[in-house]
Structure 1
């Protein structure tokens, strides 16, 4: 994961009205907290922040050039989006230091094809891990290549990158491989019956 540098401004107005004005100006209201310091209320540039999340995931680490107070290193902790329109409404940022370990949720991506006739059900989409702030994995892959029906893969089966340790319960199921249901052939038979009835009525 690459480090992203973003110039941000400090906010002096608060409340819903102030937040709307911030968003209308093309910026996102944010709060930076952590390490026992007082929270800092900031405005993030919408386009640059969205690009950082798109390219680095929701655990993006940002070098913030804070107007009037120097640089801060921050982990994107929580992103709140509008439930309908989808734009980012608010962001919580966590102060971090180089070399510091943080606990984050990382997406689990299932790869490969299971055995013929198998249905792959992913029961867990994210896993909680501890990693150095500047080396958080964007995702963790779990291969089901050739997995037979009846196979169950758990958190303990995940291969974590070097320097990353597991926080989630290792016994939690990630993937269940079951038998795919056979396709029903009743509909074509029903159509044949309907066709036969129509022919009989025409003959009558």
Structure 2
């Protein structure tokens, strides 16, 4: 079920007016979509942040626009003020609830791998996964249990449970998480360092002989 967020149309797009919106606790934005007219709006900043925190980045939001209009949207993009840490602008994309769409879904690791207890190093190459699904079927997150991973083990896309509601877009052999052996160093590394220094030394001697 979509959550609701009140939006007000922006007819005056001057910078001075936009500044007033922000000062009054609202964030300016736009609503657009395939075959849809782009509309300039404002939403309450606190309500927006609360909605995204509670429902997730991929939540379906019903924008209640004045004059009785409404639209089912997703948060497509936003701009932050790096100094004030405030939302400066927001883009909403109108979604078709019957059509699949491609989105990024957070990947969360849970558990402690056996291999890390033995000195191995857990690596997580991906923190989000590309997923294709209808808006209402987009998972909030993908959870991967790493408890049984030993040193040298890997979990790839192919190892994830399949679902009829969504599909992963990465290649099946794409690694999600793995446990590497601890890096203890080796004599080969020291030899390699010695060999890399030798050519410079030989070259220096050759030049001295020529002189």
The normalised TM-score by structure 2 is: 0.78
Which range moves more in the overlay, 106-115 or 159-168? Answer: 159-168
Q: Distance in 1 between matches of 2:64 and 2:56?
A: 20
Measure how far apart 1:149 and its partner are: 0.6
Change (3 A) 1:149 1:156: same
Match of 1:111 in 2: 110
Match of 1:56 in 2: 55
Measure how far apart 1:156 and its partner are: 2.6
**How many equivalent pairs are there?**
181
Match of 1:7 in 2: 6
Q: After superposition, where does 1:141-152 map in structure 2 within 5 Å?
A: 141-152=143-154
1:85-128 per-position Cα deviation (integer Å, ceiling 9, x unaligned): 32211111111133332211000001111112222111110011
Match of 2:128 among 110, 126, 129: 126
Q: Distance in 2 between matches of 1:135 and 1:20?
A: 38
Q: Distance in 2 between matches of 1:171 and 1:20?
A: 49
Q: Distance in 2 between matches of 1:130 and 1:168?
A: 10
Which range moves more in the overlay, 61-70 or 166-175? Answer: 166-175
Q: Distance in 2 between matches of 1:166 and 1:15?
A: 43
Match of 1:191 in 2: none
Measure how far apart 1:81 and its partner are: 2.0
Q: Distance in 2 between matches of 1:151 and 1:66?
A: 51
- Structure 1 residue ranges without an equivalent (≥5): 183-204
Which range moves more in the overlay, 79-88 or 38-47? Answer: 79-88
Q: Distance in 2 between matches of 1:151 and 1:34?
A: 43
Which range moves more in the overlay, 137-146 or 16-25? Answer: 16-25
Match of 1:38 in 2: 37
Q: After superposition, where does 1:143-182 map in structure 2 within 5 Å?
A: 143-180=145-182
Q: Distance in 2 between matches of 1:175 and 1:16?
A: 47
Structure number with higher helix proportion: 2
Match of 1:140 in 2: 142
Q: Note if contact 1:101-1:133 (Cα within 8 Å) is conserved in structure 2.
A: yes
Larger Rg: 2
The normalised TM-score by structure 1 is: 0.80
